[in-house]
Chain A
Amino acid sequence: MNLRKYLKVYKKFLHTSLACELEYKTNILVDLITAILSLIGSIFLLSIFFQNNRSIGGWEFEEALIIQGIYTILNGITNTWFNPNLTEIVKHIREGTLDFVLLKPIDSQFFISLKKINPSGFLEIILGFFLLLFCIRINEINLNMSFLTLTLMTITCSISILYSLWFFISTTTIWFVKTWNATEVLRSFLYIGRFPLNSFSFSLRIFFSVFIPIAFITTIPSEVFLGLSQLWKILLEVVVASVFLITSRKFWLFALKFYSSASS
């Protein structure tokens, strides 16, 4: 793999898709307002839960805000990269344009996952980041190197898991052709990531850590953020993330064997 070539290609991707999106300027402005309102809405919902309770599932309001912050960052990443690209797979397969992607002298997964970018998700990432900074202050967390590396590491793992989930579902399009709504189902399940896992009943907790690993996506990074997480949980997260990444890659290569272009 030639890293420099891929970097160069990615720069071109960035340039073209940004130029394309910036054609719709009011659109971006509206999306920015949407992101702000959405964060206000979720904090409002959280405050309803906490208006008569000190803690929910062992999390106090100030601590639950951390989950909210991490969720907002991850949601921003989803909206910036995963959502615009991976819904495109559906289009490629329906219209038969996946052929053109496969013929290019570049890795097809790389092309398909990074071709487009939606700049309006950036604000969400920034908002989430500021919310986390605010949480550092109100929870009196002291910053040091190990804290930063562990947090970064777990968040990177969450991003990998999230990406793999999206990519996995989009790949199934090769068999089912129309899976727009499957991503919608995933989206509604991911919504749960806004709340601490412990606030759900036992059976749902199992479901959300085994079948759809939402527990790993937001709760563990938040625990790390608070300095509460045990080492085995962090290691488990790393293992889960790598398993997800590798299987999604294998699954894509496997699925391509079944791809026959349109009208063949």
Chain B
Amino acid sequence: MISNLFNRKIFTLLKVQYSNMLEYRVEIALWAISGIIPFFMLNIWTNNNLNESINISDVMLSRYFLCAFFVRQFSVVWVVFSFEEDSLMGKVSPYLIQPLNPFFRYFAQHLAEQITRFPFALIIAFFFFIFNPESIWIPNLGILFLALVSTFLSFLIQFLIQSIVACLCFWTERASSIERLLFIPTLFLSGLLAPVVSFPAYIKSWIYLTPFPYLIDFPANLLSGNETNISGGLSMQILWIFLLFPLFKKIWSEGTKKYTAMGS
């Protein structure tokens, strides 16, 4: 009974957010286009034969960057910006009275946006294959499934990190600058701009202990068929989720205790 109710709530939320997102499809298309940086990076790598030194062929590298593009498309998180706006405008108060954690609302928003984004990402991939016909490949179903799971886990990790940052709004009001700070290591260390294998040894020695390579590099390697430790990567992703989730719950309960509505 309870789980049934829960399912209905999630389903309704998703449906509402999906129709909401469809209204902004042009905007979401532009979002998708703004994610093409990996392709420019690929161009630098192959055009200067930089990949020879890390033993990845042109084709494998182009698949890697295409997958990095996809993983990034489906793990973009912006919850902190929504939450900051809502909390500054006083919209959080009505959400708090509802018998549902407001983060479910944002979560549904993100999922709905990903569904809306999917066709645009496919179109971009289609153009990519027109320019690079030799890199077409079909991953087998098992790998595809695992890659989907790991992309979703990567999305979950980022969603949890950003939700924790968003909760700081209860204390500082403007938490998005902290998110911009965290975005810098995410950008450079996650493998979006250069695969982690190409990093110098002094970085590689500790980077696998941080969550960053599991955000883009691991799912992209998995999907593109590059060499990677599948079970190790997945378990690290799950480990990070288990570490972050209690932290989020803690900071959320502390924050809501501290929260007072505007004007009180």
Residues of A near any B CB (own CB < 8 A): 24, 26-27, 30-31, 33-34, 37-38, 41-42, 44-45, 47-49, 51-53, 56-57, 176, 178, 180-182, 184-185, 187-188, 191-192, 195, 199-201, 204
Contact = CB atoms under 8 A, between A and B. Distances in A.
Contact of B44 (A30, A56, A181): A56
Nearest to B178: A30
B194 A45 contact: yes
Contact of A27 (B33, B47, B177, B199): B177
Given A30-B178, A181-B31, A45 B184 contact: no
Contacts of A178: 24, 26-27
A184 B37 CA distance: 12
Q: Which 7 A-B pairs have the closest CB atoms?
A: A181-B30, A52-B53, A41-B188, A30-B177, A184-B34, A188-B34, A37-B184
Contacts of B193: 45
A44 B188 contact: yes
B40 A27 contact: no
B180 interface: yes
Given A41-B187, A45-B193, A48-B199, A200 B40 contact: yes
A184 B200 CA distance: 31
B50 A49 contact: yes
B185 A34 contact: no
Contact of B27 (A24, A34, A180, A192): A180
Interface centre among B33, B34, B187 (most CB of A within 10 A): B34
Contact of A199 (B31, B47, B184): B47
Interface of B: 24, 26-28, 30-31, 33-37, 40, 43-44, 47-48, 50, 52-53, 172-174, 177-178, 180-181, 184-185, 187-188, 193-194, 198-200
B35 A188 contact: yes
B43 A204 contact: yes
Nearest to A191: B37
Nearest to A199: B44
6 contacts: A24-B173, A30-B177, A31-B180, A178-B24, A181-B31, A191-B40
B212 to A, nearest CB: 12
B185 to A, nearest CB: 7
A116 to B, nearest CB: 15
A37 B174 CA distance: 20
A195 B44 contact: yes
A19 B249 CA distance: 36
Contacts of A182: 30
A42 B188 CA distance: 8
Contact of A200 (B33, B44, B180): B44
Contact of B43 (A47, A184, A201): A201
A181 B48 CA distance: 31
A24 B174 contact: yes
B184 A38 contact: yes
Nearest to B46: A201
A183 B184 CA distance: 19
Contacts of A38: 184
Contacts of A57: 47-48
A72 to B, nearest CB: 13
Contacts of B37: 188, 191
A99 to B, nearest CB: 22
A53 B52 CA distance: 10
Contacts of B53: 51-53
A187 B28 CA distance: 16
Contact of A187 (B24, B34, B172, B180): B34
A199 B40 CA distance: 10
B184 A49 contact: no
Contacts of A204: 40, 43
A114 B5 CA distance: 53
B134 to A, nearest CB: 15
A191 B43 CA distance: 14
A45 B177 CA distance: 23
A68 to B, nearest CB: 14
Contacts of A192: 40
Contacts of A52: 50, 52-53
